[in-house]
Amino acid sequence: MSIYVYGVTRAPVDLPAGLRGVGDPPSPLRALAAGSLAAVVSAAPERLRARRRDLHAHQNVLLALAEEGPVLPSRFGVVAADAESVDARLRAEQDSYEAALDRVAGRVEMNLKALTVESGLNDLLRQDPRLQRFRQEARRQPGYETSIRLGEAVMAGLTRRARAAVDEGVTALTPLAAEVQPGPEVEGCVRNTSFLVAADQVPEFRRVVEEFASRHSGEVELRVTGPLPCYSFAALPAAAGA
């Protein structure tokens, strides 16, 4: 019977009560211990899809486990053929997993996403001679072509402003983090960056983000999410480039 793998942690695992796994109805969670490690798993649903309920379940199980100790979160949707293959894998990779658990122990992931803000348009127009030229053209020769050129330049300018601001913010936040990783490219975000932060540094991290965000509100919108399971910092050394 195939099993859904939420993540890897250290044995023994004290599974928090009342946690729901993926599937409808959710199947019970259990820990498969192998040596010093344990995988937290449940029976894989027959038709697993990235539904909101299942994504929530995956995330909630990992958040709960992270409270108990270091955990390496699986990507959503990792399924093993059977318990034996999980056991064999954990034993074979024990040293790598232990090293990866040490890396995230006592730390959380904080994710920062940056978006453009339209309220910067006035300032942008004042500062950018090229944009002013496009605007003149659009006024002299109103039409589709000139409007598109102007609008595209505005979008590029807003993106540039937001990116410059958030990069400054990332620089300010980096000393608070043990590691920094770029996140996947997300449409609509000009930057997506994850920070590995000591759990007791989270309030300070947020303070710096908020302070920075309010100073740069005309340039960039920042969304900080966390503490999260350390998705971006869980890769095993061998798989780091994968």
Closest to another protein by CB, 18 or 175: 18
70 binds another protein (CB under 8 A): no
117 binds another protein (CB under 8 A): yes
- Give residues 25-64 in contact with another protein (rule: CB under 8 A): 44, 48-53, 55-56, 58-60, 63
Cβ(166)–Cβ(220) below 8 Å: yes
Half-sphere exposure for 242 (CA within 13 Å, toward CB): 9
Q: What φ, ψ does residue 181 adopt, rounded to 5°?
A: -135, 135
Structure tokens at 85: 């293959």
187 binds another protein (CB under 8 A): yes
Residues 35, 75, 130, 200: which binds another protein (CB under 8 A)?
75
Residues 9, 42, 193, 194: which binds another protein (CB under 8 A)?
194
Which three-class secondary structure state does DSSP give residue 160? Answer: helix
Least distance in angstroms from the C-beta of 82 to another protein:
11
Q: Which helix (H) or strand (E) covers residue 32, if one does?
A: strand 30-34
Residues 40, 66, 176, 197: which binds another protein (CB under 8 A)?
66
195 binds another protein (CB under 8 A): no
Residues 13, 38, 40, 154: which binds another protein (CB under 8 A)?
154
Closest to another protein by CB, 50 or 175: 50
User: What is the identity of the amino acid at 194?
Assistant: S
The gap between the terminal CA atoms of the chain, to the nearest Å, is 28
For 77, other C-beta atoms within 10 Å of its C-beta total 15
Closest to another protein by CB, 12 or 223: 223
Cβ(213)–Cβ(222) below 8 Å: yes
Least distance in angstroms from the C-beta of 174 to another protein:
18
- Burial of 116 from C-beta contacts in 10 A (0-12 / 13-18 / 19+): buried
178 binds another protein (CB under 8 A): no
Least distance in angstroms from the C-beta of 12 to another protein:
20
